[in-house]
Amino acid sequence: MAEVLAKSSPPMTLRQHTNDCLSVFRSVRRLFPYLPQICGVPKFFEHLFYAVYMHDLGKAASGFQAMLMGGKAWGYRHEILSAGYINSLTSLDEEAKRAVAMAVITHHKGIAELSKKFNTTLQTGKDNFQRCVEELSENFQFTQEFLRDIPRYGEDCLGYVLPEPRPPESLTDIIDAYKFVVLWYKACTDDDEPTILHSTYGMMLRGLMIACDHLASSGREEVRAGLSQEFIEQVILLSRNSEAARQKPALDLFAILDEKKEPARATLARTGLYPYQRRMMSFKGNAFLSAPTGSGKTEASLLWAGNNQDSGRRIFYVLPYTASINAMSKRLANYFGEDNIGVLHGKASYFVYRMMCERNYSPEDAAAFARDTQGLTKKLYRPLKILTPFQILKAFFGVKGWESLLAEMAGGLFIFDEIHVYDAHITALIIKAIERLSAFEARFLFLSATFPQFLRERIKAVLPDIGDIGLDEEDGEDNRLLNTPRHRIELLSGEITEYIPAIREELESGKRVLVVCNTVKRSQEIYPDLRDAANGASLLHGRFILRDRELIEKELDKVQLLVGTQAVEVSLDLDFDVLFTEPAAIDALIQRFGRVNRKGKKGVAPVRICTKGSENDRYFYDIDRITRTLEALPEGEELTEKRVNQLVEQVYEGGYNEKEQKIFDNVTTSFSTIIDSLYPFDESEDKDLFYKLIRSIEVVPSRAIEDMYREAREAKRHFDAIRYYCNLTLGQKAKLENLERIEIRRDSQGDRYWFVDARYDEELGLLIDEREIGAGIID
């Protein structure tokens, strides 16, 4: 028999590719033993094995083989022919045959495209199917022998012997799988009579069929093992030895532990951990964790994950901002090794690219590394992923590949850090997603320094068994964390612009000063009046191009003065001596306070809150909530963690305002409808709604930056081109459109980008209200 190929570049036989896919399958079965229980089908892995084993059998068609050898495009789908062999599995009942056939026939294309292009109820589709079945004759004996090997491979992959299949005796035994399963599935859907294949079972089957195929095709023969409890505890123990961590890479430090007789858990339990961290190390199930900034919540969350790990459960660390995700990925990569950590957000590939450039990779090698790395991260490969909630939500909107995403998340361990920062719309989506994931036996930990009670209640409504791990005032160490003040409230009557002299005085005395404004415009206005008084100053907000923001963030630990917006509230590991801030809601202020006297080693630091903001604040903030915050703040009081939580409850008594509550309720209802109508084996008709959640656009500002952007694009340095993007909200885009100051342009490759007619300054960022001067543009 001639060798049948599965791939051409480089050449790979069908047998080898199938073996690679089965190798991935074995690791899936080993790491996720709980999946049959979740989908309610005890023989789930047996059905998945059959699908993986048979998925590419149709590539034996002579037309497909000729294409691989350099011939013309084949014009048909091999998976339709592969599924046509389904009657060989005589031991399966009709329902199981349909399930396996459906996983096979849709492992590349969804049912909508199959119906549009390969519908065998139409004469053209029927003729094409028959023609391609005839093309199997040349390698028909190969396919028969391939099927006869099922019991041998089944025993290796499943641990028990499968019944002998009955391969087709002639080409006429190959069935029309489109009619057998796709047409049947569509009819059940249209008649509103969903089957078990329309449920979690079908989602898992297709998702993991695709995952096995894609991971094997990327050159990996197994899913990386989950982070075990002992592994996590070892790493945290060793990371606490800062001297050892500086001298050796994290993974080499395990040799130190091997020399000790005492397990890592015992050592951790008696040394160095706060009492609440020790409680997290023994807690199983869903939990809230409230603890002060800088007290080790990240370590505690990892200890929780380790204690809830019983196989290969994936860990998902969810953060609100890309800057925090990037910083966390570096931290956890030092803990666990880079190959175990994945990053998922809109600019994740660029983040990996820049990281490799900093390690002196050439731009070409860095770009290739970034593409390969992110390709694996998007697949079922890495055991710990750091991501935004949008990467979870996209699965429930039915975006392409959603079945694989949810199959990976089933049974997952989710750590939500700072969940309180999201608005009512996104919070409603997240809580509904959590509710559905809990049905897939996922477990959740929510971290924050402050949890408004109304938000706790909303989460408890979908996770009624959730525990509450906080600080215990009866314990001496916890009591110290709860009742040791770090900040003293000082209310300043008026606007922040009135206190420029006071800020300059603090700078001249040698203090490191943080100034936080509510709008980019206000921060751009006051920064020039302060920078000359500081020994190093920076402005940070969301309206810099990526290149300049990166440069600014690298220097933040060296500056005496930082003026910023809410960009400094979360995620940046900053530590200043004094704060001047415009008024904001209590939760935002607490985040700003957390960037001053972060570790509590500076005694009690002053945090000065102006009582009046700018006129533009009303467009971005709930003024009533700010008023309640100012009324609640005690002038001159030294704030403890205990008091901070009391203030949060006081301000948020009653929860959302009327407008927010309406948004929350409407989104919850509409998202429930979207999820309920989500059936596997194709994208959702609602998938485009996901992209409407992204409320900003990327623009190229000013002619000089546009020239650099176009040069990078022309040189095909696509990652470098990203460095010249700046973000605008959709509201700002609409304003500029009304002023005819934003337009779509095309680069030399014909790709579109938004250009903004506005002045850009490397130190101040995009000055959106100022038109560019010169370069042919009239001011």
The DSSP string of 448-513 is ES---HHHHHHHHHH-TT-EEE---TTSHHHHHHHH---EEEEEESS-GGGGHHHHHHHHHTT--E
The tokens for 294 are 């800088």
Q: For residue 51, give Cα distances in angstroms to 28, 97, 107, 512.
A: 14, 10, 9, 62
Whole-angstrom Cα distance, residue 88 to residue 164?
Answer: 9
> Tokens in use for 84?
């046509």
In one letter, which amino acid is 603? G
Amino acid at 540: L
Q: How many CA atoms lie within 13 A of 642 on its CB side?
A: 11
Pairing of strands 752-756, 742-746: antiparallel
CA atoms of 452 and 647, how far apart (whole Å): 10
Residues near 722 by Cβ (< 8 Å), separated by ≥ 6?
A: 347, 350, 546
Contact at 8 Å (CB) between 471 and 484? no
The CA distance from 289 to 300, in Å, is 9
Residue 239, pLDDT score: 72
For residue 543, what are the contacts with CB-CB under 8 A and spacing of at least 6? 520, 726, 727, 728, 765, 766, 768
| Rounded-to-integer distance, Cα 234 and Cα 219, Å | 30
Cβ(709)–Cβ(700) below 8 Å = yes
Cβ count near 631 (within 10 Å)? 9
Contacts of 555 (CB under 8 A, 6+ apart): 536, 538
**Is the bond leading into 36 cis (omega within 30 degrees of zero)?**
no
Q: How many CA atoms lie within 13 A of 458 on its CB side?
A: 24
Residue type present at position 348 = A
Dist CA 570 CA 130 (whole Å): 61
Strand partners, 5: 13
In whole angstroms, give the CA distance from residue 593 to residue 571.
13
**Prior bond to 10 cis, omega within 30?**
yes
Residues 6+ apart with CB under 8 A from 345: 322, 325, 351, 387, 388, 390, 391
- Model confidence pLDDT, tens digit, residues 360-396: 999 999 999 999 999 999 999 999 999 999 999 999 9
User: What sign for the dihedral angle of Cα 260, 261, 265, 267?
Assistant: negative
- Tokens linked to 688: 């485009």
Which structure tokens are listed for 139?
């390698």
Contact 553, 540 (CB under 8 A): yes
Task: For helices 200-217 and 94-105, give the axis angle rounded to 10 degrees.
Answer: 40
Does residue 495 contact residue 517 with C-beta atoms inside 8 Å?
no
Query: In the numeric block, which tokens belong to residue 322?
Result: 């890309």
Integer Cα distance of 6 and 186 in angstroms? 30
Distances (CA, A) of 114 to 62, 171, 431, 560, 635: 21, 22, 35, 62, 68
Predicted model pTM: 0.93
Distance CA 345, CA 457 (A): 29
In 3D space, the residue among 155, 158, 221 whose CA is nearest the CA of residue 16 turns out to be 221
Q: Is 320 helix (H, G, I), strand (E, B) or coil?
A: coil
d(CA 226, CA 384): 8
Q: What is the pLDDT of residue 156?
A: 96
Q: What pLDDT, on the 0 to 100 scale, is given for residue 269?
A: 62
Are the beta carbons of 582 and 496 closer than 8 angstroms? yes
Burial 261-285 (b: 16+ CB within 10 A, else e): eeebbebbeeeebbbbbbbbbebee
716: left (phi over 0), alpha (psi -120 to 50) or beta: left
pLDDT digits over 430-455, tens only?
A: 999 999 999 999 999 999 888 899 99
* Alpha-carbon distance values, 496 to 443, 525, 526, 605, 716 (Å): 44, 11, 9, 19, 46
Query: What values do phi and psi take at 765, rounded to 5?
Result: 90, -160
Q: What is the DSSP letter of 377?
A: H
Find, among 492, 451, 642, 701, the residue nearest to 578 by Cα. 492
Sheet holding 605-610, edge to edge: 537-540, 561-564, 513-516, 578-581, 605-610, 487-492, 638-639
d(CA 699, CA 334): 34
Residue 198 Ramachandran class (φ > 0 left, ψ -120 to 50 alpha, else beta):
alpha
Q: Hunting for tokens 């790493």 — which residue is that?
A: 235
Retrieve residue 667's tokens: 């989104």
Which token pair is 476? Answer: 């001496």
CA pair distance 484, 62, nearest whole angstrom: 77
Residue 720 in tokens: 């470098």
318: DSSP letter: E
Q: Which of 253, 231, 303 is nearest to 274 (CA)?
A: 303
3-state secondary structure of 517: coil
User: How far is the C-alpha of 725 from the C-alpha of 500, rounded, in Å?
Assistant: 32
pLDDT for 268 equals 64
* DSSP letter for each residue of 217-249: HTT--SPPPP--HHHHHHHHHHHT-HHHHHHS-
Is 400 within 8 Å of 378 (Cβ atoms)? no
Q: Which residues of the chain have pLDDT under 70?
A: 1-2, 240-265, 267-272, 569-572, 773-779
Q: Quick one: CA dihedral 402, 408, 414, 415, positive or negative? A: negative
C-alpha to C-alpha distance for 549 and 574, rounded to whole angstroms: 16
Rounded Cα distance between 321 and 570, Å, is 8
